[in-house]
């Protein structure tokens, strides 16, 4: 067959593929995911970084050889910083790095969700509903717009599920070329990538481990040489990267915290309707779907001879149970919704199951099942997008003063100048200068002045009302109760400068200069909650 004929055949096959309404709908969902993400990326490409973002990105600039001495450690040590550093080396801008490390992985998560659900259930309805939910999830969208490690880590986690299911269960070539026998070694490598980007997502490895033990005879697992190859790869990588892989692992366990079931509220966080809690359909659909899943598992006699669909239910159940068990018994801290991203796929599948079960009850009415699904999932998607829009736009200017003040100091300082700021990683990232912390809240002014005397390279002080935990001599915020008894900010104070701003009266007493033992503090700028002082050593 000539190249022209091959090209014509491909075109005909694509046209035939498009004629399938399920495929056409998926293209619509995928395009929607792209449009949404590009739109919000256009709004957030230059938004100020938050503390955790700047930890990863400041260390990336350090690794790239820029004038930053900030070093990430413990649980903050991530492969993400090394990848970002490589992009900095190639001259990419902050926006370009965000596009590559956050936006693109977020887009492909929608595609992987669809492909995984097809492999697991061979049901395009489950795949479409799940991929749509991934496309519009407020938690995914919000974190895709920030330099958080969760989205790229989740991408590799989903890719590991795809590879595992494609090769290990379906016995099909992986990525059209790789023999299915390599599924376990390749899955292991992807799990390690997931783990090295975000250590809390190590649980992906346990999804596969427990599933394999439950669905295969132990002697068959032992006989498979590729399982042994995966084990050898694991041991080798652990030995050469032990310090990196396990740095900060001890901080994950909190035995001092009592066990509690508040962690189950994460599903309410994922799926709540902030405009009308009584119409949080996704939340109710999730629990209905979970009950359906459990009942299907209860009536399953054994996993060794179970169908792919039945095994898929087991895998979904393991994803939920293992993740929640880790947070209940180990972390014991409700934390943020993004910590629980490993349950997203399982949650979306439960919602899909519940939606389809409800729609099936209306089969005797023409088009009723389609209408039911559109109403359930369409409305839910709408309030997810509204939530995304609100939270993304409301947070656009957060820490703007820290960013602007750091850039301002960068423009008037030399490379050897040292800054002091409570917003340490953000200030380091934007100023590209060495930054020191002012110290804890109970630090005496005398100790602070002694440190300044010992190091005359300390030239600037940023007093920020964005960050909590400043020394009391530096920042004080006074609150009073409003008519409803709620706390209300009434005054800002910079005690060591005898500076006050009273919001209740509108009076301002801003001291421009003050001297302590041959060290003069001179106010040179005020930018959105940040007072910038030059430190003059006499």
Quick one: tokens of 505?
A: 């009266």
Give pLDDT tens digits for 241-276: 766 776 666 556 666 667 666 667 888 889 988 888
For residue 320, what are the CA distances in angstroms to 139, 239, 346, 472? 17, 30, 7, 44
Phi, psi of 503 (to 5 degrees): -75, -25
The per-residue pLDDT for 116 is 97
Beta strand pairing call for 513-516 and 519-527: antiparallel
Count of C-beta atoms within a 10 Å radius of residue 112: 21
Annotated domain spans of the chain: 17-46+93-394, 400-537
- Per DSSP, which regions of 267-425 are E strands? 418-421
CA–CA distance, 107 with 44 (Å, rounded to integer): 16
**Residue ranges of the chain with pLDDT lower than 70?**
1-3, 5-8, 242-243, 246-257, 259-263, 301-304
Question: Which residue is associated with the tokens 């989903």?
Answer: 158
Residue (of 141, 245, 236) closest to 196 by Cα position: 245
pLDDT of residue 13: 74
CA distance 155 to 144: 11
- Whether the CB-CB separation of 531 and 456 falls below 8 Å is answered with no
Check the CA dihedral 288-292-294-298 and report its sign.
positive
**pLDDT reported for residue 336:** 86
pLDDT recorded at residue 481: 81
pLDDT in tens, 50-96: 999 999 999 999 999 998 989 888 778 899 999 999 999 999 999 99
In angstroms, rounded to a whole number, what is the distance separating the alpha carbons of residues 407 and 404? 5
Between β-strands 476-481 and 487-494, what pairing exists: parallel, antiparallel or unpaired? Answer: antiparallel
Reference 494, options 516, 526, 472; nearest CA is 472
């Amino acid at each position: 067959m000539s190249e022209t004929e091959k090209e014509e055949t491909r075109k005909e096959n694509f046209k035939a593929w498009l004629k399938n309404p399920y495929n056409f709908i998926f293209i619509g969902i995928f395009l929607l995911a792209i449009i949404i993400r590009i739109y919000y990326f256009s709004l957030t490409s230059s938004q100020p970084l938050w503390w955790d973002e700047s930890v990863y990105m400041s260390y990336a600039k350090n690794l790239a050889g820029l004038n930053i001495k900030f070093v990430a450690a413990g649980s903050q040590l991530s492969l993400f910083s090394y990848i970002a550093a490589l992009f900095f080396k190639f001259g990419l801008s902050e926006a370009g790095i965000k596009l590559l490390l956050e936006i693109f992985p977020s887009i492909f998560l929608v595609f992987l969700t669809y492909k995984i659900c097809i492999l697991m259930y061979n049901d395009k309805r489950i795949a479409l509903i799940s991929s749509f939910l991934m496309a519009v999830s407020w938690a995914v969208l919000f974190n895709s717009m920030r330099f958080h490690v969760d989205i790229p880590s989740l991408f590799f986690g989903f890719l590991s599920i795809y590879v595992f299911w494609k090769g290990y269960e379906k016995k099909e070539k992986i990525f059209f070329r790789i023999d299915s026998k390599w599924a376990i070694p390749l899955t292991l490598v992807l799990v390690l990538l997931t783990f090295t980007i975000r250590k809390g997502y190590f649980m992906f490895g346990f999804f596969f481990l427990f599933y394999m033990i439950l669905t295969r005879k132990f002697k068959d697992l032992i006989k498979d040489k590729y399982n042994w190859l995966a084990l050898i790869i694991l041991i080798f990588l652990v030995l050469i990267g032990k310090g990196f892989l396990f740095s900060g692992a001890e901080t994950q366990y909190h035995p001092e915290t009592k066990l509690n079931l508040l962690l189950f509220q994460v599903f309410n966080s994922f799926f709540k309707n902030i405009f009308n809690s009584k119409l949080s359909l996704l939340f109710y659909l999730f629990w209905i779907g979970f009950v359906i899943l459990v009942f299907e598992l209860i009536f399953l006699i054994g996993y060794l001879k179970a169908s792919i669909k039945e095994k898929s239910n087991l895998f979904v159940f393991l994803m939920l149970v293992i993740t929640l068990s880790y947070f209940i018994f180990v972390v014991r801290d409700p934390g943020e919704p993004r910590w629980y991203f490993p349950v997203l796929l399982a949650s979306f599948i439960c919602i899909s199951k519940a939606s389809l079960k409800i729609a099936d009850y209306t089969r005797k009415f023409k088009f009723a099942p389609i209408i039911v699904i559109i109403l359930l999932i369409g409305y839910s998607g709408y309030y997810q997008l509204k939530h995304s829009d609100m939270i993304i736009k409301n947070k656009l200017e957060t820490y703007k003063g820290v960013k602007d003040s750091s850039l301002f100091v960068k423009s008037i300082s030399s490379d050897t100048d040292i800054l002091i700021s409570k917003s340490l990683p953000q200030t380091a990232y934007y100023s590209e200068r060495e930054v020191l912390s002012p110290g804890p809240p109970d630090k005496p002014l005398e100790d602070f002045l002694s440190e300044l005397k010992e190091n005359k390279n300390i030239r600037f002080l940023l007093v920020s009302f964005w960050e909590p935990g400043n020394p009391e001599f530096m920042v004080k915020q006074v609150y009073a109760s409003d008519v409803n008894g709620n706390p209300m900010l009434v005054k800002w104070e910079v005690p060591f400068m005898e500076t006050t701003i009273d919001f209740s009266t509108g009076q301002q007493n801003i001291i421009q200069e003050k001297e302590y033992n041959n060290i003069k503090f001179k106010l040179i700028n005020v930018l959105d909650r940040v007072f910038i002082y030059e430190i003059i050593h006499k």
